[in-house]
Amino acid sequence: MPEPARLPAAATYVVFPQLCRLRFGFHAEQPLRLPGYTGSAWHGVLGHALRRAVCVTGQRTCAGCLLTGSCAYAVLFESPPADPALARRYSALPHPYVLEIDPPAAPRELPEGAGFDLGVTLIGAATGFVPHLVHALRGAGAHGFGEARARFALAEVTQEQTLGAGDWTAIYTGGALAPITTAIPPLPPSPAQVGLQLQTPLRLKARGHFLNADTLTGADLIRALGQRAELLLRLYAPPEDPADARWTDARNALAGVHITASDLRWHDWTRVSNRQDTRMQLGGVLGALTLGGPALPAAWPLLWFGQWLHAGKNTAFGLGRYRITDSTGSASRAAVTRRATESGQPPPARLPTRG
């Protein structure tokens, strides 16, 4: 099992699970339709492909299988067994991967030969499953994408060398697979304020309700990130000292981190679950916000690393993805951009963000 990453933060150390960030590049072998949000489609493609590729028992379900602890499909797609303490606290446990999906947009029709891609981030023990994912997605194209089952082919797999640096390296182009280790860089200094761009719907539930643009608070976001990071560590990258898996500093800072500006909206997303034979509403918050407050430095490690862990519910469908932008008015910049777009004027120039 890979060692957790230690990020130096002032005089202490913040421990997070090791990550492996991948991009799978495909080309369409037939005209192919991408839905407005591809998270559900890719979740289904990846799950079915991985099960076909690695299941050696032929059982219809993973229940009772002796290989669930080492099977790539079971570890990634089935909920891990919970110890009694976790079972009492949580109704569902996180999976050790997230899909990096483009923000919701209009459906697209791709012609034959067009390229498209999928981002996958593996977490903790799941970083050892790179060959399994490459093998599974290499064969997935023959079964097709979407309702039309349009065929596609895997052309290339790249991996980020340093987390957040955008230094992507090809590790597979059709021949031998040569995975590398994604390095975790030193934690950047905490800014006085930090801007967040919510790229896919953020589904946070607190006080018995899903939080919207009016009810989301800085404390809600920090609490969700801390609980998620702690669970992922305990389940998939347990440190030698269990105390390293706690988020005490950030927990103590909840009351001291505030949303100082926001331009948020609710985005509804509906997916059809073939397994449950039902339509599921998975809406969440999109847009931009700025966080500040006296306790921001204590929460900064969670906010920075959470860009790649995602936040909230349904991260296995790519939800809860955000990026840290410039720390000086991301929310007001988003509002200006939206007003300019609505009036037909060109939006202002955008500052670069992390990859």
Residue 86 is predicted with a pLDDT of 72
Decide if pLDDT at 2 tops 90.
no
Among candidates 228, 198, 225, 224, which has minimal Cα distance to 213? 198
pLDDT tens-place string over residues 332-343 = 444 434 433 343
Per the DSSP assignment, residues forming a β-bridge with 98 are 121
Specify the pTM: 0.86
Going along the chain from its start, the domains and CATH numbers come out as: 19-172 (3.30.70.1890), 188-343 (3.30.70.1900)
Among 53-62, 217-226, 321-330, the least confident range: 321-330
> How high is the mean pLDDT of the chain?
86
Closest CA to 286 of 311, 303, 306: 311
- 160 closest CA partner among 180, 176, 177: 180
For 285-320, how does the pLDDT look when each residue is reduced to its tens digit (9 = 90+)?
999 999 999 999 999 999 999 999 999 999 999 999
